[in-house]
Every structure is written in structure tokens, then in C-alpha cells.
Structure 1
Amino acid sequence: MPTIVFVSPKGGAGKTTAALILACELARGAPVTVIDADPNHPIKIWAAGAEAPNLTVIADADEENILERIEEASAQTPFVVVDLEGTAAKIVLLAVSQADLVIVPTQGSQLDAEQASRALRVIKQQEKMSGRPVPYTVLLTRTSVAIRTRNMAHIQRGLIAAGVPVLKAELHEREAFRAVFSFRQPLERLNPAEVGNLEKAIVNAEAFASEVVGLLRAGQGAAAAAQPAKVA
């Protein structure tokens, strides 16, 4: 079953937020396992107080057992989402080796884009080691809904010109995405009276998840199509 790995060498890029948002959206239609391999275990902490049917969180993965944890999770649920920290650790290479799709979140600054290139190098390194292509894409995060800055447009054009695939969907800077962690609930269980523009955040999350499912189907064929996710 598809394994989606989130990799980012830089803190604050929205990696864990993106991983959790995607997992929750996929879980609306099919069981999902999240492997929280971030040493701070933010998703494990979130799940302790959350009402999230169809979502299982595993937080004991390390470089010694990550392959087994991914294999076990893949046998039990249609989707596996892996949240990793950094790029230098052996566990990152191992997890990437099992990925059906690697997502590299990055904010729209030159510094963040340069840091994201480190993650892309890890992916290319794993491709050489394994002898197989590793599908990957960049996710732009914390973007403004109202303003498309010149800097953001420049970063996006540069990535595309370099042959780096970039998701059309972006995760916008929205209160609701922060509220998911504050209230420890998926987007759909948040109270719109307490969270501003919740409906628009849900639409944003659905577009992100739908595009990811489309990429998986394109790369996995019948295997991915056999396990559709209700993301809209």
C-alpha cells in the first residue's frame, strides 16, 4: 500500500503540519497509519487527545526498526504517512527507500528553497543506492492566500525550471492549521465558531490530499486506485 514520506532539513517548514493534515484527510476515506519518527513526537502528542477514527499513530520507529514498522503498517492499512526530522540521519535514507512518494515541504524564501535542495539530494542519493526512481514533489507551505509575492513566484519558477516537481496545491497560512494542534482535532472536528475561515482551510486540505492521491494513482496504477480515499 502507498507510503508517503515527509522530509525537510529545516524546522518550521510546515512538515509535521502537512503530514498530519494529509493523514487526516486520507483517513476520512480509508485507514491510515502515521509513523511519527520525529524525536519530539508531535503527532503522537496530538493523537493522545484527538478524536481521529481510521488513524493509527506509531511513535517507536528508529533507524533499527523503521523498515519493519513501514512494512507492518503497509500490511495493515491502505496508507502509511511517515514524518521524519532532518536529512542527515540514516533513518531518512531507509524511509525514503520505501516511499511511493516523498513530499518536501518548503516555505517561499530563498533560504528555505536552498535547504529543501538538501532533501532532494538525499532522494537522489537513495535512487543511486537502490537503482530505482523515487517519486517526489515539493509542497509550498505557509503561503499567502491574498498576495503572490515576487519572491514566491521566483522560487516556484526556479524549482520548475530545474525540473523539480511542485504541487499545484499549496498549504496556505491559516489559523485552522494551527488550531488542529491547539485543539487536538482534525480540521473537520474543529468548531467554526472558534476557528476563523475553517471552511476555506478544509477546501485547501482537500485539494492537497486530492493531488497527492492523484500522484499515487499515477505512480501505483491499480494498487493505489484500489484504495480510494474520500478527500472531497
Structure 2
Amino acid sequence: MAIISIANAKGGTGKTTAAVLLAMEFARKGGKVVILDCDPLAFAAKWHGLPRTIETISVVTGVTFANLGSNLRMLQGQVSHIIIDLSCARDALVALAAGLSDLVLIPVQGCAMDAQGAAHVLDLVGQVQSNARGHINHAVVLTRVNSFVTTRAMRSVKALLASRGVAFLDVPIMERSAYRDMFEQGGSLYAMNEGRVSNLAKALANMQALALEVERCIVGPLHLQSNCSLARIGYKAPAEVSPPWKRAAGPTDPDVFHIVL
């Protein structure tokens, strides 16, 4: 079972979009996925409640600092992936989720406010690492990236985060109309009509590449990607891989989870 938290102190950075895309692709590859929706507005739950629900994806709402640990214990061994959507979450919940996760993703668009929100999460991760005297696997994922335009603001954001030694995913989340449409139509991107959705094939390829990159990051070290190409995205579907993680049996602390090779 892999636990992925998605956090940024600023709203509108693409946290729920990232959570749904990853859940959708993990489910397509045979996984059973739960999204823990920490947002009082419950956008992930609203997507899940639309027609054409994906049976192997569940969404749990009302997740708080007090019940996160019990939710994770209840799901242990029952699912392949837990994705914690930390939209609107308070610092204590973000810190707790980070400490319990195999990977923390921090979505950032090309603006200074997103970078400041990301820096706040990075500070929380640093505090948890210091208190626990251990490493938390974490990385920034660039969102709503235009494949043809790299703005000065985006370059500034990358430079700021790179100066802090922050790792970037090699695969950004591109700006695609399909990612907006899915929150109106519900269901999977794979069920959309290609004739009615602009660049659907590219949206699918982006989602596939993102999930593959996240799978690799869960079990491998993350390195600083200070020169990460914003347009580096393969539009051909990546080769299928089996999820490379398994859950360690009998952890000493029921709220601590480990990835073993």
C-alpha cells in the first residue's frame, strides 16, 4: 500500500486535479484506490459522485487530524494506494500526513503565490523531518503548464525552489481542457469521447506519464531537477509496469508505514 499526500498552502494550485488523475491511472492499471478528501468543499468527492463512477476508486470525506491515523489503519492491506488531498488542510494535518506518507507532492503553478504556498509546506516537511530525524520523500510537481510557453514567472518559481534544494518531478501536469471537463462529466478520462474533447490523447499520455513517474519516486530517491524541462512530456503511452511497492508487516507504531523493496 502506497500513501501519497498532495499539499500546498495556497488554494487553486491543482491538488485535487493531481489526486484524481493519479487515482484514475492507478485504478486503470488494476489498483484499488482511496482518496482521503480533507477539503471542506469536497471537490474530489463531488467528482466521484457524478455519473460513471469508477468502481475501484473510493473517496472518504471529513478527514481531520484526529481521524487520519485511524483511517489509514482501517485501510491498511485493503487498497493499493491512498491519496491524501490536503486542500484547505491546517498545518497540523499537513504535517501529520507528510510524516505518514511514502511521497509528498507539492503542486505549483507559475506564480509567486504558489511558490510561497509551496515554501510553507516545505517548511512543515522540514520540521517533521527534524523532529523525526528521518527523511520524507517529497517533490514539487509543476501544474497547468503550457507546452509552448515558459513564462518569466514560471522560471522565477523554479529558480526560487531550486535554490532551496527542492526536487521536481520530471513530468509536469499540462494545461488540458480534459482535466477541467472531468470535474463536470465525472468518470474516467478513458471514457470521454475523443471527438468532443480537445487533445484527449495528449491528456491521457500526460496522466500515464505522471503516474509512472510517481510510482518510481515512491521507491527511489528524488534528486534536484533544477533544469527540469517544462515541455518534457511523452505523448506516447509509457510502458506498463507493475506497482513496485509492498507494505512492511507489523510496524512498531501503527501510525508509521514503511515501503520495502
2:193 match: secondary structure: coil
Query: Deviations 1:110-147 (Å, cap 9, x if unpaired)?
Result: 22212210011111111122222111000111111111
- Residue by residue, what CA displacement relative to the aligned partner does 1:190-219 show, whole Å, maximum 9, x if unpaired? 111221111100111111111000111226
1:211 maps to which of 210, 213, 228 = 213
Q: Give the match for residue 181 of structure 1.
A: 183
Alignment partner of 1:40 is 2:41: yes
Q: Distance in 2 between matches of 1:153 and 1:89?
A: 28
In structure 1, what is the Cα distance between the partners aligned to 2:92 and 2:159? 32
Alignment partner of 1:67 is 2:69? yes
Quick one: distance in 1 between partners of 2:76 and 2:110? 33
Q: Name the structure 1 match of 2:90.
A: 88
Structure 1 partner of 2:134: 132
TM-score with structure 1 setting the length: 0.90
Aligned to 1:100: 102
Query: Higher helix fraction: Structure 1 or Structure 2?
Result: 1
Identify unmatched segments of 5+ residues in structure 1: 228-232
CA distance change for structure 1 residues 78 and 160 in 2, over 3 Å: closer, same or farther?
same
* CA offset digits 1:141-173 (Å, max 9, x no partner): 111111122332332233223210011111111
Aligned residues: CA RMSD: 1.6
Q: Tell me how far apart the structure 2 counterparts of residues 113 and 226 of structure 1 sit (CA, whole Å).
A: 31
Map of 1:10 onto structure 2: 10
Q: Secondary structure of 1:167's match?
A: coil
Aligned mates of 1:160, 1:101 — CA distance in 2: 19
Give distance in 2, aligned partners of 1:155 and 1:200. 25
TM-score (norm 2): 0.80
Residue 218 of structure 2: SS of its match in structure 1?
helix
Which deviates the most, 85-94 or 183-192? 85-94
**Residue 87 (structure 1) shift:** 5.5
Checking the alignment, whether the CA contact within 8 Å between 1:87 and 1:118 is kept in structure 2 is no
Q: Pick from 116, 121, 124: which aligns with 1:119?
A: 121
Q: 1:171 aligns with which of 170, 173, 177?
A: 173
Residue type at the aligned position of 1:16: T
CA contact (8 A) 2:138 2:167 kept: yes
The alpha carbon displacement at 1:55 in A equals 0.9
Gaps in structure 2 of 5+ consecutive residues: 222-242, 247-261
Deviation of 1:13 after TM superposition, in Å, equals: 0.5
- d(CA) in 1 for partners of 2:105 and 2:10? 14
Structure 1 range deviating more: 68-77 or 162-171: 68-77
